[in-house]
Structure 1
Amino acid sequence: MFAERFAPHGSIDGHSVSQTLGTFSMDFWQVFLRETLQNSWDAREDPAGGVRFSIDAWRLKAAQFDALANGLLRERPPGALGGLLEAGDPIEVLTVTDSGTHGLGGPTRADRSSPDRRDFVDLVRNIGRDPAKGFAAGTYGYGKAVLFRASACATVVIFTRTIVRGRPTSRLIAMALTGPYDLDGLRHTGRHWWGRPDREVGAEPLIGQVAEEFAELLGMRRLTGDRTGTSIMVLAPRLDEDTGLRDVVETLAQTAADYAWPHLTAAPGARPALRVAFTCGGRAVPYPEPSSDDHLGPFVEAYHHCLRLLEGDGVPVQRWPWNIQEINGSRPQQRLGVLAWRTRLAGAVGAHERPPAEVALMRDPRLVVEYHPVAPDPSGQVITGVFVADPRLNDFFAAAEPPTHDRWQPGRAQRERYARNPVSQAINRLEGVFRDRRVVDPVDVTQTTDQVGVTRLASLLGTLLDTQPGGTDTRIPEPGPTAGAAPGAGTWTDGGGQGGAATAAGGEPGGGGTSQPPTEPRRPGTPPPPRPRRGTVTVRLHTRPRLTMTDRGVCADFPVDLDNRSAGDGVVLIAEPLVAVADGHPERPDGDVPVTVVGWHSRTEDSVHEGECLTVTPGTAGAWNVRVTQPADAAVTLVVRQEAVTT
């Protein structure tokens, strides 16, 4: 073991190294996954090639624990590491491995110059980030702090296979951090390394076959054959009281899907650029397939729209259900990025949850920076979008990120005083797209002989976004007779006549003087047959339906209240669905937009009448829902008419 001492001119202590990551806005294990994955992606061997990334967690077997405690780490500093290993019980480990990457190449000494990559010393020796490496994701040297913070004893073992002077080279070294301490009259920083003793640097990595064999002993076996890459073992992953090792791996797997889906998906016929695998105790831990996932799928689709526009294969468009547009800046006039978004049904959102409204922000190398909240949809729908920064401004957006890469902070990217900040412009204008959306006042529904009591469901009939209820005609007719009501109106005074026509002159039904068929004369002394009691039902159709998921898909439940005290011998109510079109005049559905009435569902009794008809008598329940199938691309309205019961 090599324990670093403070130099006469000063040094940074181990505790400070572990704090360089700073604060973060998400769960720690989410940060861990994002940082390690970004470093692996940044180290890919071929910029156009793929990367394999895996995380394996398990409890060390006896032989593995012995190789660690009595072999590599037989000398230990004061602190948590000694307590864990001296207890003699095998510990849990979590190993992160990538392949298809460069591995940790370059010199092993920080004081040696090299024209090649310096990945080994950047991870193992140095603190911070070399500005010469640019702002590609994963280039923050501060991010290594997640490795130590993930370990209850702040200890990791690193195995890498890389190319040095054209030949494969294997390296293995261990690192640990503690707080500063005094030993033998000297002050120590708390930074420690285990490997091959060296007079000048204290500890050099094990190399060649020795490194390969030790990695095998410890169970670090993901790097098979001659593949280059890196495997980092975190000793004793830090767990909460109510969190197990599998819980951590499940969080890591979900986080990979949530933030790396641009690389986990590919165009038809192509292979994803990133392949991931997660195991715990030797058993696979699944993760969602982004393209088919209910939550991530729309983001994937939005991302592909952005790519087409960025690459010149698409044009800005506002056509249901997508809005695809450029976000432009001023002074200078330039494209800041592209935005693709849509609204969709909130069917997967819990009844008491607010439908999410968020845009995935990203830049090169196309890992999601954050899901940025935007103004919610006025009609209560889910907003899903993706914003991709213009590649020409990538350095600005990268500079705006903290070491955790979990948000854009425009102040970090301010390069000149009073200069226009493209990151600030992009965020403000992106948010403005959603903030400036307004609910259009609902269009009044004119009561004519063809259309009365129609419910407006969409605030903007031009978009008809998944038919969530927006503005509606709130003038619900009150119960009670209405003279001269037109067919289909919210109230009726008579149940006779086809189409629910109002009472004709003289009180006889039949539509204004239509002759009745002749009847046989009654024999003398025969009592007249009982005259049917013509019924009257007052119908109150509420204008705000409720969407519900059923075995027939999405349906709209229209509440209907009945005043059936004067229903007589019975009245048949017939529900007719209509489809709202762009000019505001609902029409009967056709084959292109099929809409059917599922049935009448009592709100007070366990009673369901299938189909569009409900026979109402004075004893019929008065509170019903008319359930109508809800197409994905139309606003459904409803008319209820009535007919007398015929015998």
Structure 2
Amino acid sequence: MRSDEAVPPGQIANFVQFLRNVGEPRDNQLGGGTYGFGKGILYRVSTASAIVVDSHNNDGDQLDRRLMGACLGETYRRTSDNIRFTGRHWWGEINDDIPDPLTGSRAVAVSLDLGLPGFSDGRTGTDIAVIAPDFTLGTEEEHEEMPVSAQDVAFRLRRALYWNLWPKMATGKHSAKMNFTIDVEGRELEFLPLTELPIFGRFAEALDTVRSGEYSPFTMKKYQTTLGPLGRFSTEYTISDKFTTDSPLAREILTHAPVKPPYRHIARMRSAELVVDYLEGDPLGTPDFGYLGVFRATDNADKYFAESEPPTHDSWQTGALSGDSLGIVRQAKQYINQECRALAEARSGARTKVVEGLGRLSSALGAIINNATGTRATLNNGASNSGSATAPRKMSEKSFSVIRQSRVVLVDNEPCVEARVAVSLRPETLTLDAKASVVLPNGKLEKEGDEPAGAQKASVTGWYPLDSEDTPVLGPRITVTSGMAREWAVRSPLLPDVAVTITVQEVSTE
């Protein structure tokens, strides 16, 4: 319970480290902290710079209850004798002029008097009460101090939990490592699974890949034999249009997100899986498509990355590093940037988990970059199509025109590729065929039968009227007569991770 006491073998001085000491090196291997400065935020958000800590622990084979107050204030001098004080204060039971925590039944009684939750259910754990919390917080956008309600603080805490601690939540393939709840005056806030939230679902998939062993390793030749891989890296492609959501929680989280479109962000973390920051890579060249990923330091390299983190643990800085730490941390950032650049250029293949059609994925993404506008529709009036989009044609001489090239849209909350076509009915009936194809890196279209084994083929769902109540026409062919709609949307299912183009051509009825 005191800093000058020797720690018995097999025990960890958690109480002393939390309430007595500041700046002590960690003794928890691969732990998230380094020197114990992070707990200072608890005092910072108190207008009295004070907290009360109530703990129920299993010290050895016996349950132990401890209650203590603490303050981390400014230094001062006592005017009567000019003695300088550190500004640290404790409240408890005074023994030999030193405050110790209340223990046992006395701790239980005072905890009840203070209205703390207590541990009547027998569970072990720790409750930390912030005295007179400061609800005057700087806004996240303008850094201006303004008063906010307890509910506003709770919403902000929830956003912080998601963006900093989402790896501790259930990721789809792995169960949650922590359970989070927030309640305001008895009303509990909603927490949605990562799989139901935009962006987080893709981050979670990348982390699952890192955990499962199908990752891309970051290695350095110098440390190959001694440390092995120094980091694990994985990415998942994403589509921005799919992020439309009716969930108030999802909208709130995206509004205050540290990552903004076009998405090309890598969540960096150490072995403890606490998000350090989100590193921006090269964009894919179109706002509709992007990627999200994870870089996690390996256990063998964890200490080198820990040395690069400031007390806030929100970046990997190399300014004060030297030797192995400097080389590893600096090279890790270069590695991530190179991998992201490779994704954007689509030359070396995606560093993601192995999927069918990986070669086609790389080629198709190359087409996105080369053509600079992404998935698109092209016009084909009978001639062979080169795969590059043309501008919409005037309808004065043509029987139909593509009035909007393909783009990713949401229809009934499902993404698809859609192009829009207008017809002039010259002659009075017009038959059109639509074809959906995967774009290759040279701009040409993938031929039927050339797709990788097991890969899903591009197909046309049907034609859907835009300016009338006509019935949709399923399949790739439509015959338009004088009484039918003049503008149609032709749609194709969205294929994962490839560029799809829709070609339209007139079919001769002779």
Q: Using structure 1 for the length normalisation, give the TM-score.
A: 0.60
- The amino acid that maps onto 1:196 is E
Tell me if 1:642 matches 2:501: no
Deviation of the 1:634 alpha carbon? 5.3
Q: What are the equivalent positions in structure 2 for 1:132-171 lying under 5 Å apart?
A: 136-164=31-59, 166-171=61-66
CA shift in 2, pair 1:382/1:348, >3 Å: same
- Return the match for 1:121 from 16, 24, 27: 16
**1:610 aligned residue:** 472
CA contact (8 A) 2:379 2:402 kept: no
CA shift in 2, pair 1:230/1:280, >3 Å: same
Tell me if 1:277 matches 2:181: yes
SS of residue in 2 equivalent to 1:375: coil
**2:249 aligned residue:** none
Deviation of the 1:581 alpha carbon? 7.0
CA shift in 2, pair 1:572/1:196, >3 Å: same
CA distance in 2, matches of 1:412, 1:114: 33
CA distance in 1, matches of 2:72, 2:326: 42
Which ranges in structure 1 are unaligned for 5 or more consecutive residues? 1-106, 315-323, 442-459, 491-534
**2:305 aligned residue:** 397
Tell me if 1:229 matches 2:125: yes
SS of residue in 1 equivalent to 2:87: strand
CA shift in 2, pair 1:180/1:199, >3 Å: same
CA contact (8 A) 1:469 1:544 kept: no
CA distance in 2, matches of 1:571, 1:213: 89
- Return the match for 2:315 from 403, 407, 414: 407
CA contact (8 A) 2:55 2:126 kept: yes
Deviation of the 1:264 alpha carbon? 2.4
**1:327 aligned residue:** 218
CA distance in 1, matches of 2:329, 2:385: 56
CA distance in 1, matches of 2:49, 2:92: 17
CA distance in 1, matches of 2:279, 2:105: 48
CA shift in 2, pair 1:557/1:125, >3 Å: same
Q: Using structure 2 for the length normalisation, give the TM-score.
A: 0.75
CA distance in 2, matches of 1:643, 1:428: 53
CA distance in 1, matches of 2:311, 2:273: 17
**1:255 aligned residue:** 160
CA distance in 2, matches of 1:472, 1:364: 40
Which ranges in structure 2 are unaligned for 5 or more consecutive residues? 137-145, 246-254, 348-358, 388-395
Q: What are the equivalent positions in structure 2 for 1:198-347 lying under 5 Å apart?
A: 198-201=95-98, 203-221=99-117, 223-240=119-136, 241-265=146-170, 272-309=176-213, 314=214, 324-333=215-224, 334-347=228-241
Cα deviation 1:502-525 (Å, max 9, x = unaligned): xxxxxxxxxxxxxxxxxxxxxxxx
Deviation of the 1:594 alpha carbon? 6.5
**1:546 aligned residue:** 407
- The amino acid that maps onto 2:283 is P
CA contact (8 A) 1:595 1:631 kept: no
Deviation of the 1:609 alpha carbon? 6.6
CA shift in 2, pair 1:264/1:633, >3 Å: closer
CA contact (8 A) 1:161 1:229 kept: yes
CA distance in 2, matches of 1:587, 1:428: 40
Cα deviation 1:422-461 (Å, max 9, x = unaligned): 11111111111112445479xxxxxxxxxxxxxxxxxx84
CA contact (8 A) 1:254 1:288 kept: no
- Return the match for 1:431 from 313, 337, 359: 337
CA distance in 2, matches of 1:372, 1:120: 36
Q: What are the equivalent positions in structure 2 for 1:456-467 lying under 5 Å apart?
A: 461-463=360-362
Which structure has the greater CA radius of gyration? Answer: 1
SS of residue in 2 equivalent to 1:143: coil
**1:175 aligned residue:** 70
Q: Kindly report the root-mean-square deviation, in angstroms, between the aligned alpha carbons of the 2 structures.
A: 4.2
- The amino acid that maps onto 1:547 is V
CA distance in 2, matches of 1:633, 1:189: 59
CA contact (8 A) 1:575 1:640 kept: yes
Deviation of the 1:209 alpha carbon? 0.5
CA distance in 1, matches of 2:411, 2:369: 22
Deviation of the 1:548 alpha carbon? 0.8
CA contact (8 A) 1:362 1:370 kept: yes
CA contact (8 A) 2:344 2:369 kept: no
CA distance in 1, matches of 2:472, 2:483: 20
Residue correspondences, number: 451
- The amino acid that maps onto 1:378 is G
CA contact (8 A) 1:291 1:297 kept: yes
